[in-house]
Chains A and B, each alone.
Chain A
């Protein structure tokens, strides 16, 4: 038996929604945030409507039951039911969205705010557009020395950073759950792998208070490490971050 077009369309949309929920919330244990799911479903509905109205025949099949519902005198009862249900549904959705709750409002936070053009630390000024890790060159020139520097960076990391960023650099340190947002996961392909080393130097050296105004409220508990570490220690820990995660810093060397 061939299902009516309109019912097919509704079933497709419902099936996609359930699939999103099942796969991400149940299967992968990583639910799709409601803001994103709303966007996804909006375009799934739009695309379903486009497909079902692409040909004249299909469009007539789609609109037939809706027309009949509105115009056919024999469907008076179901029409009245639908005409009561639709405003009630709209009212319920509006109420759900506006109902006060104890949940903090959703806010859009800039995780990677742009660095300034230059910064001051250790009694001098750095031009972040040109700043490079002074130890990076040893990766090719003297691999043994590089290895030793990475090791020193690792020591700095485990003395100072792993409490929050985790011993596997995955943002799951002992104190991580005490922060909101959680400390950054360096294993994520979208974090340090996207950035130049100068960005990391700025971010580590100046910490949360060094973030620019565009990142406010910056909600970063990152200490100002220039007060606790030396310049070389910061560069070494940067070497360690990339080495441990198997990532390479962003550079334009291949261009």
Chain B
């Protein structure tokens, strides 16, 4: 357990000292949202209708862009090897890395999202649904993204490859997240998609952690 917390703390400390990680992700998120009213026009009704989907899509892209660095820096400076061979279950190490990735990138998105939702006139009803689906959905994005991040280590054109691998797998999360927000905006019951997202999180967590660990082991063997 101490090792687990130590790995989380190490990643947090690294990102604090390198600084920019969190800020870059949030900036990217805000900038993409900023493009939207410029692209489709500033009409409040139009913005309100598409705000849920837009916030979700930009959160998804922000998460995907940042997940590339989850193992990349450790891979380059060699500390990934130490993380793999240390006498500690690799699956737990991966869980710790995913949790720290979510704390560094997912949580800030969650904090800034209400502000952006307000700017896009999402409305009171959509607000709660948006926050709740993002709270359940962004850890899922980090989990699935970690599989892709582990698979592309050492690959040519890694970042383009990462989007090809990860985006198709992100689609179900996007569908359920947006359908909950849309239902809430239209005053319909939105409990079901949130429950599905939650069960996806519980069901996919062990599976994706296993897949990421398997991919990391293969990377070390290369």
Q: Do these two chains really belong together in a complex?
A: no
The residues of A with any CB-CB pair to B shorter than 8 Å are none
